[in-house]
Amino acid sequence: MRNLPILQLSFWMLIVVLLSSCGKEQHAGGVTDIGNSVSVLVLGSKGESVEGARVALVRYKIEATGTLALDSLHGISDVAGQVSFENLPTGEWTILGESKVTGKGIGMISITDKTIDSVQVFLGEATLLRGRIVQIPLGGRSFIPGVGATALSEKISGQYLFSQVPQGKFQICYTDAIRAYCRAVQTLDQRDTLDLIDMRPTPDLSLNTVTYTTTNLPAYYLGKDFTGASLLPTLRIDWTQATPQQGLGQFPLMVRLQKSDINYSEFERNGSNLRITDGRNQDLAFEIEEWDSANGSALLWVSLDTILAGQSGVDLRFQSLPMSTEHRASTVFSPSEGFASVLHFSEDTLAELDTIHDASGSGHDGIIAQAALGRTGMFGKGLDFDGDNDRVELGSWDPCAADFTASLWVRWNGFNGHHQVLFAKRNAWLPDSTRWQWHYDLFSGAFGSYQIDSLSRAQFSSTKVPEAKWSLLTLVYRASQDSVSMWVDGIALDGPKFFAPGNAVGALLRLGGSDAGESWNGAMDEVRLEQVARSEDYIRLAWYTQK
């Protein structure tokens, strides 16, 4: 048998270095409420507390060529098997535990600002872990972040081998010296050798599994048992048909969870102890719009910091934090990323003078000026307009001061003999009282972005807006070009057209109606006003991932 050029390293040697180094020492004790703290509970293979175990925490950062160790701390577990670490910097941490009698264990945790968390580490016999990274160019290097373990990947088969791996949860990463790709792993038993199924790098920097059929199972798999170690469960969100051609930043991804996706019994009834991470175990900000434990369903908005050009999807993991720990505050629709007002209509009840809350945190809430007829929604709850003076008051703030994007899901009931307003910033249909209006025009039979100036009436064919069916309408204004474009379900209508807002900066802003009535005839959901001109890639991806 040909010897593979694989470097086997016992990564447990690192803990010896850490425990004998000048790293900070913290002793066993209870978790305090000062700073960022974590309590590690060390347990044996039968669930018994282990006293006197050595525990090390290593904070790390994954870089293109491997792991950068940032901090290390250590302590000894007390009679209850606990050791606490306080005033920890935020970031990703690997937890290592060892007892001469009980064995070794590993875990991982993400410390976010002002969180108090706890984690269990089970000790047992260390094993050898092997697998393959396939479809890689000219080999590369596999590593376990935060531990210092590394193994060369054989250039042809992509095989890697780690020796003395303790049981627990950790990450396996692969680098081609340009980017690092990672996937979380859990060892399930303590046999001498554990095998992992094949993985391959994907554009979203995660290692996805390779699916084989019985007819094309590689010879490498023969005789191997893959039940001793597994990749932690992930939910793949795929958008292959809307793959962006250019990179996107801070994208709010809608995620629906069903009974089969997560075990709802592990979470609080409102989902407050939910944690979401990506394929590299990086925490993602998210917002819970709806959470129904009884029926096993949830509607979430997850913030993706970066979507690469050509990226066709993302892997997400859903974990439960300790019941006393809540996820970090949402930054999904941050004003710093251009979101000025985001209305989900997720309130349990909405009647006249009730408030529709702005999820962006900008304070641009809506007030129901006249009771709507129902709560029909595209995702969860929405708002119905009957075409007869219904509207939502949004104050007098001005979304037209520079570039902006307006978008909303609508279910249109069609022609009713009246103008039908989507947005109106006007006090009256007069030159000095009008800033901007987006509506269906009764006389032209078109959707348009209007102000009083006859030159600033950009009209778009209504034939592409379906009736009695949900569709995403998007309007993009570019101030430097005095142009406006309209999109229906990710498809641009007729090209950019001239438009310049009027002078009535202080006019009232309304949704679904105007000062003269002219209400929308149908339902609305997920209304957004953004102070940025969104790109074609962004608009198409928003429609595809929400539909």
Q: Which of 332, 351, 374 is the last residue before a domain boundary?
A: 332
- Same domain (yes/no): 318, 347: no
**What's 358's domain CATH number?**
2.60.120.200
Q: Are residues 515 and 374 in the same domain?
A: yes
The secondary structure of 180-203, three-state, reads: EEEEEEEECCCCCEEECCCEEECC
Identify whether 493 is part of a domain: yes
**Co-location of 381 and 300 in the same domain:** no
Confirm whether 243 is domain-assigned: yes
Distance from C-alpha of 476 to C-alpha of 539, rounded to nearest angstrom: 10
Cα 477 from chain centre: 27
Which structural domain, as residue segments, surrounds residue 350? Answer: 337-546
On whether both 446 and 475 belong to a single domain, the answer is yes
Report yes or no on 367 lying in a domain. yes
**Tokens (6 digits) for 287:** 């917002």
Is 182 a member of any domain? no
Q: Indicate if 418 and 457 belong to the same structural domain.
A: yes
CA nearest neighbour of 106 among 67, 62, 55, 68: 55
76 occurs within a structural domain: yes
User: Is 306 in the same domain as 404?
Assistant: no
Instruction: Return per-residue pLDDT of the chain as tens, 547 residues.
Output: 333 334 343 444 444 343 333 334 453 333 334 457 888 999 987 889 999 999 999 888 888 888 888 888 999 999 999 999 988 887 888 899 999 888 888 888 777 654 556 788 889 888 899 999 988 766 678 888 877 666 655 555 788 888 888 888 888 999 888 888 988 888 877 788 999 999 988 887 888 888 888 788 888 898 889 888 888 878 889 898 999 999 999 999 999 998 888 888 888 888 888 888 887 777 889 999 999 999 999 999 999 988 989 888 898 988 877 655 555 556 799 999 999 999 999 998 888 899 999 999 999 999 998 766 788 899 889 999 987 788 999 999 999 999 999 999 999 999 999 999 999 999 999 999 999 999 999 999 999 999 998 889 999 998 899 999 999 999 999 999 999 999 999 999 988 999 999 999 999 999 999 998 899 999 999 999 999 999 999 999 999 999 9
* Phi–psi pair at 20, nearest 5 degrees: -105, 5
409 and 480 housed in the same domain: yes
Is 447 inside a domain boundary? yes
Contact 337, 538 (CB under 8 A): no
Out of 122, 157, 177, a domain closes at 122
Q: Are residues 358 and 444 in the same domain?
A: yes
pTM of the model: 0.75
Q: Domain tally for the chain?
A: 3
**Domain termination residue (choose one: 305, 332, 359):** 332
Same domain, 249 and 360: no
Q: Assess whether 424 and 286 both reside in one domain.
A: no
Q: Are residue 315 and residue 362 in the same domain, yes or no?
A: no
- Domain co-membership, 317 together with 371: no
Whole-angstrom Cα distance, residue 433 to residue 503? 8
The answer to whether residue 405 sits within a structural domain is yes
Residue at 194 is within a domain: no
CATH number at residue 27: 2.60.40.1120
